[in-house]
Structure 1
Amino acid sequence: MFLENLALKGTAVQSSTFYSCGAAKAIDGIRYSPSGKPYPDETYTYCSITSRQLNPWWRLDLLDSYNIFNVTVTNRGDCCLEQTTGAEIRIGNSLENNGNNNPRCGVTSSVPAGSSVSFSCGGMEGRYVNMYIPNIQAYLTLCEVEVYGTDSCEDFI
């Protein structure tokens, strides 16, 4: 079974936007995390970043429901590694609480600088994939989010 990166077909929004670091930058297909040298402003070019706020979130709308098997998150490589730490990956079909009440696939621990970490979601069904840091004031930074799955109507043989 071939799994495609469904994120490339979707649209993204986030709870707020720091500088010019909009939500779509995390689904542009560029798994690049700037090192800060020689151009520290590259983070603003390649990564989505929310403002520092209580309960920051980022949401991908896949425009249809899919069985999600894997979510891969790429962290920035220049600084501020904690800006992905503790993010809950939530998948489902509800927009209640901006989609942050959907079932949880996993929680990021410390993602090393410039690295990508994958989470197995076992075929969870959903249209929305959220990254959500609950109960603290924080920035949420995502340099790339990849979502691998199949059409939820597809039969497996």
Structure 2
Amino acid sequence: MHSSQFGEHVAGFANDGHIPTIVNYCQHTDANDLNPWWQVDLQSTYNITSVTIANRFDDKPAVGHRLSDTSILVYNSTPSVLTEFTLCKFIPGVFGCTIRTFECDGVAIGRWVRITKPTEYLVLCEVEVTGTEI
């Protein structure tokens, strides 16, 4: 699930098991979404230890900045404005056109993982959550 959708770039593209190299197969929020997010329901509670994110790395390297200042949040209950969360990781600065793995900064236990950023598009080509089921 994501906060908005640009064209045919559905939320499921971010966790379909394929790491594409072009945006055609990546999740993508709408241009007018100024607080975009993407989330996955893990269907059970996990102690989440790391999250791997693949950004697009096609022939447009200038898009590497689109994952700037990204947060990885973990929720015990359905995410909403009022739901408490644990910050797994804040990723400051430019992400780049690459694949990166982020270890959670502390204990992050929950069922939902949300990736969010404060401005413009959110494009995720693949997200892999690692942890131990509780």
Q: Where on the TM-score scale, by shorter chain, does this alignment land: which range? A: 0.7 to 0.9
Partners of 1:92 and 1:75 in 2: how far apart?
23
Using the size of structure 2 for normalisation, the TM-score is: 0.86
**More relative contact order, 1 or 2 (CA 8 Å, 6+ apart):** 2
1:110 counterpart SS class: coil
1:123 Cα deviation after fit: 4.5
Deviation at 1:112, TM superposition (A): 2.3
2:33 matched to 1:51? no
Q: Which residue number in structure 2 is paired with residue 16 of structure 1? A: 4
Residue number among 78, 100, 112 corresponding to 2:96 in the alignment: 112
Q: Quick one: which of 79, 103, 114 aligns to 2:86?
A: 103
Is the CA contact (8 Å cut-off) linking 1:25 and 1:144 kept in structure 2? yes
Aligned residues: percent identity? 36
Aligned length: 127
- The runs of 5 or more residues in structure 2 that have no matched partner are none
Bigger radius of gyration: 1
Give per-residue Cα distances to partners, 1:35-75, cap 9 Å, x unaligned. xxxxxxxx12x200000211101011101111111100111
The 3-state SS of whatever aligns with 2:12 is helix
After TM superposition, the runs of 4+ consecutive aligned structure 1 residues lying more than 4 A away are none
The equivalent residue for 1:142 is 124
Partner of 2:108: 124
Contact 1:123 1:149 in 2 (8 A): no
Q: Distance in 2 between matches of 1:32 and 1:98?
A: 34
TM-score, length-normalised on structure 1?
A: 0.74
